[in-house]
Amino acid sequence: MANEEYVTDSSSDFTEYWIDLFLGIKGNEYFCDIDDEYIRDRFNLTGLNQEVSKLPTIIDIITDLMDIELQPEENRDALEHNARILYGLIHARYILTSRGLNKMFEKYRNGDFGYCPRVHCQLHPLLPIGLNDQPRLASVKLYCAKCEDLFNPKSGRHAVVDGAYFGTSFPAMFFQNFPQAIPIHSKDTYVPKVFGFKLHEYSKLNRWRELQRKKLEARLAKNGVEITNVVGGFKAEEDKPVIQQ
Amino acid sequence: MPSEGEEDYIPWIQQFCEAFAHDYFVPVAQEFIEDDFNLTGLSLQVPYYREALYTILDYQVDTADDNDASITNGGNRPVQNKAKSELPNKALLSHSADLLYGLIHARYITSKPGLTAMATKFERNEFGSCPRYYCDGMHLIPVGCTDIPGQETVRLYCPCCNDIYLPSSSRYLNIDGAFFGTTFPGLLVKMFPEIENQCRIRINKFNQNDFGLKLFGFRVNELSSSGPRMKWLRMHPKTQEEKQEYENCEFQVPDNDFDSEVEDTDGEGDLIDDDDKTMASDDE
C-alpha cells in the first residue's frame, strides 16, 4: 500500500497522505516511509503508548484512517506534534527490519544522509545514528563507516531531528545486513607541518596511534582475520611516509 | 589625483577579500607587499608578475612616472584602460593578480601581523566548526595540502582531532589551498597556545567516552568485519602503560617490543572482549 501511494497520489488531487506530507517537510529527508501494515501491527508499537498519549487516534492520523481536520481545533497542534514523535519512534524500529533496512540502503546509496567531510574518507556516504534510544535527549548524528566516527549534520534543520528516531543500533544492524557496504579503511592520517617539518608532539602521537593500529592488526592476524584490502580491513599502503623523520 | 576622482573607490585588496567565497582571506598589509624581500621567487610562479603586482597595489600599470605618482597619492585604477594595449587579455591579468595575491597571502599569514589577523578570524569562528561530534564545535583553521598553486583546494584543519576536513559549503571548492599554505595551522597553534588548551579541554572531556557501534546495547566485536577497526585514529594515551608506550614513540614506532606486547596484552584482552564486546548476532 505504501508503495502504491505515489501512484494514487497523482490521480487524487484533494488529499495527500500524512506520511507523504511528513516526509516532504524540510529537515525530514533522513526518514524513509514506513509500511502501513507495520504501523497498524500493534505488536510493533509495544511500549510506545508511554511516549505519546491518544495512541489509537494518532495511529489513525498517520495511516490516514482519520483526518486531523475532524479533531477539535485546540487539539490539532498537539495531535500533529505527537504524530510526528510517534512516526519517528516507529521509524527507529522499522529501519531495523529487513524492509526498512532495504529502504535505508537505497537512501544510503543515494547519499541522502550526506558524505563524510573528512578528507581522507573521500566522500564516504554517512548513516544516521542516535546517541540514545530515549527521545528528547540528543539530536541525530551521522556515522561514517570509513573512519568510524560521529559527525554533526551539516544543515541546521537536521541538527534538530531527534536521534531516537533512528536509534543507536541502526548502523550496526545495517552493516550486519549489508556486509558488502563495509568500506576498506584508510590508514592515512594528517600531521601538521611547519615549513615542511612535522610538529613533533603531533608526529609522536601519530606514531603512537600507528602502534595501536599495528597491535590491532597483529591481534586480528593472530585470529586469522584477513585485513589487507578486504572489506572491513585496511587499504594496503605503498610506503608509509609517517615513520620517516 | 587625475580625473578618476571617484568617491566610492575601493582598493583592489579590499575588493578581493570581499568577493564571493573569499571570506577566508585577510587583507595583506600594503607594506608587506611593497617589501620586495617578501616576494622572493614569486615572479617565477606568476605570469605578468609586475603588472599583477601593480594591480594589487592599485598602481598604474604603464609607465614608471605614473607608478611613482600613485605611490604617493594612493591608488587610482587606470589598469583597465592601459591593460588592453600592454596585455593581450584583461582576464589573464586579473587571474595573475588573484594568484599573486594568494601566494603573498600564504606568506603573509605566517608573519606576525598576518597570524594575528587570522587568529582574530579563527576566534570569531569564521572558518567554521569541526563537523566531528566529539570535537564539540572546535573552530577550524584553513590549510593547503600543498604549497604549489593549482593542485588542491583549501581544506580545514581541526587542532582537536588533528585531521583535515572539506569546507562545508561548496563555494570554497575553487579556493586554492596554496593560498593558505601547509605551514599556517601548525604555526597558528604554536603561536597561540590558547588553541591547544581549548583542544586539551575537549579531549579530556571526551576521552573517557569510547564510541563504538552497538547493536541492542552490545558492542560489535573487533574480529567482525564491521567491528571497530579505526579506534586508533582518535586515541590518546590514557593509562600509565599507554603513556609509557607513547614516550617510546618519541622518534619512531617501536617495532621490536610491539610483538611481545601483543602477546602480553592478549590474554587479558581476550577476557575483556568476551566480557563486554559480545558479538551480537543479527537474527532479527
Q: Do B214 and A154 touch (CB under 8 A)?
A: no
Which candidate in A149, A210, A222, A235 is best for mutational testing of the B interface (most B CBs within 10 A)?
A149
Q: Which residue of B has its CA nearest to A234?
A: B229
A117: chain B residues, CB-CB within 8 Å: 131, 165-166, 168
Residue B228 CA to residue B221 CA, distance in Å, equals: 7
Identity of the residue numbered A175 = F
Say if B134 is an interface residue toward chain A (CB within 8 Å).
yes
Residue B32 · residue B50 · CB < 8 Å: no
| Closest in B168, B234, B235 to A117, CB measured | B168
In a 3-state reduction of DSSP, which class is residue B51?
helix
B227: chain A residues, CB-CB within 8 Å: 232
A108-181: CATH class: mainly beta
Q: Does pLDDT of B84 surpass 70? A: no
Which candidate in A101, A113, A148, A220 is best for mutational testing of the B interface (most B CBs within 10 A)?
A148
Mean pLDDT is lowest, of A239-243, B13-17, B138-142, B155-159, for A239-243
Q: Do A199 and B190 touch (CB under 8 A)?
A: yes
Q: Does pLDDT of B66 surpass 80? A: no
Say if B234 is an interface residue toward chain A (CB within 8 Å).
yes
What chain B holds in terms of domains, given with CATH numbers, is 12-64+89-202 (2.20.25.20), 214-249 (no CATH)
**Tens digits of per-residue pLDDT, B213-232?**
899 999 998 888 888 999 99
Residue A17 · residue A34 · CB < 8 Å: no
The full 3-state SS of B134-198, as one line of letters, equals HHCCCECEEECCCCCCCCCECEEEECCCCEEECCCCHHHHHCEHHHCCCCHHHHHHHHCHHHHHH
Q: What's the gap in Å between the CA of B123 and the closest CA on chain A?
A: 20
> Which residue carries 603531533 as its cell?
A202
Q: Does pLDDT of B265 surpass 70? A: no
| pLDDT, mean over chain B | 80
| Closest in B168, B245, B284 to A97, CB measured | B284
Q: Which residue of A has its CA nearest to B135?
A: A151
Question: What pLDDT was estimated at residue B256?
Answer: 57
Percent of chain B with pLDDT over 90: 51
In a 3-state reduction of DSSP, which class is residue A234?
strand
Q: Do A192 and B166 touch (CB under 8 A)?
A: no
| Closest in B185, B212, B250 to A204, CB measured | B250
Q: What's the gap in Å between the CA of B198 and the closest CA on chain A?
A: 16
Candidates A117, A227, A111, A151; CA nearest to B227 is A227
Question: What pLDDT was estimated at residue A49?
Answer: 86
Residue A195 · residue A201 · CB < 8 Å: no
Buried residues in B63-93 as b, exposed as e (16+ CB within 10 A) = eeebeeebeeeebbbbbeeebeeebeeeeeb
Query: Residues of CATH 1.10.1820.10 domain(s) within chain A?
Result: 18-94
Question: What pLDDT was estimated at residue B61?
Answer: 63
Question: What pLDDT was estimated at residue A235?
Answer: 87
Percent of chain B with pLDDT over 70: 77
A196: chain B residues, CB-CB within 8 Å: 182-183
Question: What pLDDT was estimated at residue B268?
Answer: 41
Task: Order the strands of the B155-158 sheet from edge to edge.
Answer: B141-143, B155-158, B163-165
Pairing of strands A193-194, B141-143: unpaired
Residue B152 CA to residue B166 CA, distance in Å, equals: 11
Handedness of CA B24, B30, B33, B37 (dihedral sign): negative
| Closest in A118, A179, A245 to B225, CB measured | A179
Identity of the residue numbered B41 = G
- pTM for the structure as a whole: 0.82
Say if B173 is an interface residue toward chain A (CB within 8 Å).
no
Confidence of residue B6 (pLDDT cuts 50, 70, 90): low
Question: What pLDDT was estimated at residue B255?
Answer: 73
Question: What pLDDT was estimated at residue B252?
Answer: 83
Q: Does pLDDT of B266 surpass 50? A: no
Q: Which residue of A has its CA nearest to B262?
A: A215
Q: What's the gap in Å between the CA of A236 and the closest CA on chain B?
A: 15
Q: Does pLDDT of B167 surpass 90? A: yes
Residue B145 CA to residue B42 CA, distance in Å, equals: 19
Question: What pLDDT was estimated at residue A86?
Answer: 93
All three cell numbers of B95: 587571474
Handedness of CA B84, B87, B92, B97 (dihedral sign): negative
Confidence of residue B88 (pLDDT cuts 50, 70, 90): low
> Which residue carries 600507528 as its cell?
A210
Question: What pLDDT was estimated at residue A99?
Answer: 95
| Closest in B133, B165, B249 to A118, CB measured | B165
A136 versus B74: which is more confidently predicted?
Answer: A136
pLDDT tens-place values along chain A, 245 residues long:
444 444 444 444 556 889 999 999 999 999 999 999 999 999 999 988 888 888 999 999 999 888 888 888 888 888 999 999 999 999 999 999 999 999 999 999 999 999 999 999 999 999 999 999 999 999 999 999 999 999 999 988 999 999 999 999 999 999 999 999 999 999 999 999 999 999 998 999 999 999 999 999 999 999 988 888 888 888 887 655 544 44
Confidence of residue B69 (pLDDT cuts 50, 70, 90): very low
Question: What pLDDT was estimated at residue A4?
Answer: 45
- Residue A228 main-chain phi, psi, to 5 deg: -90, 120
Question: What pLDDT was estimated at residue B264?
Answer: 44
Candidates A126, A84, A132; CA nearest to A108 is A126
Contacts of B100 (CB under 8 A, 6+ apart): B42, B46, B49, B52, B53, B56
A204: chain B residues, CB-CB within 8 Å: 246, 249-250
Q: Do A143 and B265 touch (CB under 8 A)?
A: no
Angle at A146 between CA A228 and CA B211, to 5 degrees: 110
Q: Do B258 and A118 touch (CB under 8 A)?
A: no
Confidence of residue B122 (pLDDT cuts 50, 70, 90): very high
All three cell numbers of B194: 590558547
Residue A186 CA to residue A146 CA, distance in Å, equals: 7
Contacts of B269 (CB under 8 A, 6+ apart): A219
- Mean pLDDT for B240-250 is 89
Bridge partners for A125 per DSSP: A115
Q: Does pLDDT of B76 surpass 80? A: no
Question: What pLDDT was estimated at residue A81?
Answer: 92
Contacts of B55 (CB under 8 A, 6+ apart): B12, B61, B79, B93, B94, B96, B97
Residue B85 CA to residue B62 CA, distance in Å, equals: 10
Angle at B161 between CA A232 and CA A169, to 5 degrees: 45
From first CA to last CA, the distance across chain A in angstroms is 64
Residue B236 · residue B200 · CB < 8 Å: no
Q: What's the gap in Å between the CA of A33 and the closest CA on chain B?
A: 20
Query: Residues of CATH 2.20.25.20 domain(s) within chain A?
Result: 108-181
Residue B99 CA to residue B77 CA, distance in Å, equals: 19
Q: Which residue of A has its CA nearest to B234?
A: A209
Does CATH number 1.10.1820.10 belong to domain A18-94?
yes
